[in-house]
Amino acid sequence: MYNKGTIIPGLVIFVLLVTSPIWFNGFKAATPPKPELPPGGEKNCVMPKEYMRDNHMVLLNQWRDSVLREEERVVVTVDGKNYRKGLQMACMQCHSNKEKFCDTCHTYADVNPYCWDCHLTPKEAASKEVTH
């Protein structure tokens, strides 16, 4: 009446197919990335490491809004060192190698941030200055 002779094997096959990535990887997650830390032994960022790991995009969006919409170009001071708000003015001063810092985590998380649609890495900015 309910075709349980075909439904039950069909459900078993469906469950096996849906869970095959778990079985294929042997219940192991991918190795988390280890982004290259800034050269020069910088230990402090504008916020603690844990906060930046989880909320850096929120902070960058807040900075963008305050700088562009409210014209608040306030300097961020960390341990006596001054940074202007912004990806290029603050973050890229220490984390100058986008490929070894930003891209390692973004690739791991399969995230394509739109920051680089407008912003240049220090290498790109230097090459543009030389050509002009």
| Position 16, amino acid | L
Whole-prediction pTM value? 0.69
The answer to whether position 92 is within a domain reads yes
- Count how many domains the chain has: 1
The answer to whether position 123 is within a domain reads yes
The answer to whether position 12 is within a domain reads no
The answer to whether position 73 is within a domain reads yes
pLDDT of res. 125: 77
**54 compared with 131, residue with greater pLDDT:** 54
The answer to whether position 1 is within a domain reads no
pLDDT of res. 117: 85
* Cβ neighbours of 98 (radius 10 Å): 20
The answer to whether position 30 is within a domain reads no
Over the stretch 16-63, which tens digit does the pLDDT of each residue have?
A: 999 988 888 777 777 888 888 887 777 778 888 899 999 999 999 998
Contact 94, 44 (CB under 8 A): no
The answer to whether position 29 is within a domain reads no
Spatial CA neighbour of 85 closest among 72, 98, 94: 72
Over the stretch 61-99, which tens digit does the pLDDT of each residue have?
A: 998 899 889 888 888 887 787 888 888 888 888 888 888
User: Residue 76 forms beta bridges with which residues?
Assistant: 83
The domain of 100 spans 40-131
The answer to whether position 61 is within a domain reads yes
